[in-house]
Structure formats: C-alpha cells, structure tokens
Amino acid sequence: MNVLDSLQLATRALRVNKLRSALTMLGIVVGVAAVVCMVSVGAGAQAEVSERIRTLGANLLLVMPGALNSGGARLESGTQPTLTEEDAAAIRRALADVQVAAPLLSHAMPLVAGNRSWTTLVAGINPDYLVAREWQLAAGRSFTGSELETAAKVAIVGSIIVDELFEGRAGFGETFRIGNVPFTVIGVLDKKGLGPAGRSQDDVVFIPLSTAKSRVLGAVHGTTRDALDFISIKVADASAIPDAQADIEALLRQRHRIRGDAASDFRIENPADVLNARGASVRILGYLLIAIASVSLVVGGISIMNIMLVSVTERTREIGLRIAVGARRRDIRRQFLIEALTLALAGGLFGAFLGAAAAVAIALKAGWPILISPWAIVLACGFAGVVGISFGLYPAHRAARLDPIVALRFE
C-alpha cells in the first residue's frame, strides 16, 4: 500500500462524513485564513507606505507654520509672517546638510480651458521643489530664472490636469486660465499617484512662486504677502535628518526671535516618520491577529485529534479487517496519520484561499497594492500540516495498537 493509496483512502473516508470533516477543519481554516490575510494586508500596507515615501522624495522634511502645541490659540499668526522665502533661503545657506529648501504657497483655484473647467490645487514653487520631491517632467521644461524673476504666466501641470482640462491632448503649449489670469503650459509632470493624505498628487498645477504671490494667490494669506504654506527640505543623507531637524529648529527660532521655552511658531515634520508610524500600527495589529490565529490553529489541531479518536473507535472493525488481510501496524498508523494530515492540509488550503480573498477585498477597499505573500501561504499551510500530524499521532497510534481479534469482534 503506497502513499497514493493511503491518500485515496483518506479522502474517501473524509468524504463519507462531509459535514463532520468540514467542521473539523474549521479551526484550521480560520487560523490559516487569518494568518494569510494579515500577512498579506501587512505587506500591502507596508508596500503602500514605502511607495508613498518614495513618491514623496527621499530624506524630505517639511517646515510648516503654526506651533504644534499652542493650546489651540496661535497668537503669533497675526503678528508676524510665520514662514517666508527668506527663511527658506536662510536654511539653505546656513545648513550644510540641506541640499534644497523649497518654499511653496498653494490654494485651490478654478481652472478654465476652452469650455472645460476644473478646480484644483495651484501651487507657487521654484524649481527646487521638484528637486526636493524628486519629481521628473514627462514633457516640456521647468521654470527658468527669468520666468521666476518676471513672474511669468507659465505653468507645469500634473497628468490629471492634462486629462481633465485638455482631454488627454499633450497639454504642452496649451493655454488656460487660473481664475482670470491666462497661463501657458510649459511642462507636464510625471505621474506620482496617491500622496500621504490619500489624495492624488497628479491633480496639481505648479506656477512660479513669484507669479503666485503677485498675480494669483497673493490675497490668500490676508495678513502678509510673504507667508508660505510650507518649506520642503531635502537633506543630503537619511542619517543627517535628526541633526538637520534640530538645526532648522534652532535657526528658525532665532530668525523668528522666539526665546527661552516659548513655543515655536512653526513645526518640522518628517513625513516618512508619520507614514512609517502608520505602517507600524498596521503591522502590530497584524502580529496580534497572527497570534490569535495561531491559537485557532492549535484549537483546530485539537478538534482534528478529537474527531480522529472518534473515527478510530467507529472504524475498529475496519482496522481489524485490514490487519487480518495483511496490513502491518505501520500501514494502519500511516492511514490515520494521512487522514489527519489531509484534513489539516485541506483546511489549510481552503483557509489560504479565504485569507487571500479577504486580503484582496481589504486591499481594494483601502486602495493598497494587492500583495498575497506566497510564503505566508506556504508557511501557514505547513504549520497546519505540522498541527495535523502532531495531533494525528496519538489517534493513529491508538488505531495501530488495536488487537485484531478484539477489533474484529467489535460491533
């Protein structure tokens, strides 16, 4: 009797009691499904985080106006411009580790081209911003120095703008209006996908910062024409980030004349940290669920043992008969072991399928990449198999030890 025969026997025995077999597998199904699902979700979330960090640009720090812990009363905001172009320039000048300090001023504005309109984020930048974000152009060129100086009415647009406003035409060279101001498209941005906040980064129009201030967005920050939304800083090296963060803090506090322990009127954010923290919380939740799933696998193993013991008793006569016609103890033992293993593996495969399906559903819902880890499936099914064998050993041993005479008389 070879393994194939034993396998055939096992599947047949399990098919006889379909409902019972299915219920016995349930613990394993739930356990494996949870493991596969959580590992896949965790991997998807992690990939999402990495992707967002990548599209953000490496080693990026953001300096934003407004103190983080000011108790909700930002007294300074009306009294002085919190962040200015001069701040950005000073950071760039003073700190060796800072490669780029790019100011940005933005606001949502209505766009019109021909008979089509679209409302989107219009951001005033200088070319440093594209460097900080490691953002390439798909077509055209960046702003020139003279365009920045003369506040030229030129724009670089994201791919969504091309689709929405120019109906998929190249976009390059087209003209459109922001509010009432006519602009010419000189460049089209590469696609970036979703940003940290979950909004598409391709739905954007960049214009020179000077143009934004003087012609389009000047009135946005009512109190001062110099105020910025934030400064994007590219640090030379990841290891230099903590130092750079402290240096920027000190420099800006000095420039803003903040003394002693007074709260800063700006804050420095490391977007990668925020994203990583979010990824870590998903991972920790995943580990917790995997721990629970392991308990389920063990419980599933116990229910396999339970049913196998019942099965050995029920089939006492069959065992006696098999021994009478020449089965050796190890044939009997193998038969029941393979049956337990088949139960566990079938449960494992079904669970892996369910878990993968759940992971796909969650990934689609959350907008994460779908990453079904084959290792998770192999490991979870392997663990299920180990559970099946370890909990099948004792019942199989009991079956193999039956006295054929007693077994044959058993009714």
Partner 1 sequence: MVISGSAWGSEMSLVHVTGISKQYACGAGFVRAVSDVSLSIEPGEFVAIRGRSGSGKSTLMHLLGLLERPDCGKYVLKAREVANLSEDARSSIRSDEIGFIFQFPALLPRVSALENVELPLAYAGIRRQERRARAKDALDRVGLADRVHHLPNQLSGGEQQRVVIARAVVNNPSLILADEPTGALDSRTGDEIMSLFAGLHRDGRTIVVVTHAAEVAARARRQITLHDGRIVEDIPSQPRVPGKGGGGSLPQ
In the complex, minimum distance from the CB of residue 358 to partner 1, in angstroms, rounded to a whole number: 36
Crossing angle between the packed helical segments 329-366 and 18-56, to the nearest 10 degrees: 40
Question: How many angstroms separate the Cα of 76 from the Cα of each of 83, 182, 304?
Answer: 12, 36, 69
Which of 43, 20, 15 lies closest to 355 in space, CA to CA?
43
In the complex, minimum distance from the CB of residue 330 to partner 1, in angstroms, rounded to a whole number: 7
Nearer to partner 1, 358 or 408 (CB): 408
- Residue 34 to residue 253: CA distance in whole angstroms: 50
Nearer to partner 1, 336 or 368 (CB): 336
| Cα within 13 Å of Cα(36), Cβ side | 31
Nearer to partner 1, 1 or 354 (CB): 1
Which of 66, 75, 72 lies closest to 265 in space, CA to CA?
66
Nearer to partner 1, 20 or 328 (CB): 328
Nearer to partner 1, 134 or 318 (CB): 318
In the complex, minimum distance from the CB of residue 305 to partner 1, in angstroms, rounded to a whole number: 23
In the complex, minimum distance from the CB of residue 407 to partner 1, in angstroms, rounded to a whole number: 10
In the complex, minimum distance from the CB of residue 375 to partner 1, in angstroms, rounded to a whole number: 36
| Cα within 13 Å of Cα(235), Cβ side | 22
In the complex, minimum distance from the CB of residue 327 to partner 1, in angstroms, rounded to a whole number: 5
Token look-up 């995997």 returns 290
Residue 404: CB partners within 8 Å, gap ≥ 6? 319, 320, 323, 324
- Site residues (vs partner 1, CB under 8 A): 1-2, 5, 12, 16, 317-318, 321-331, 404-405, 408
Task: Quickly count: other Cβ atoms within 10 Å of residue 213's Cβ.
Answer: 21
- Residue 394 to residue 308: CA distance in whole angstroms: 9
Nearer to partner 1, 320 or 395 (CB): 320
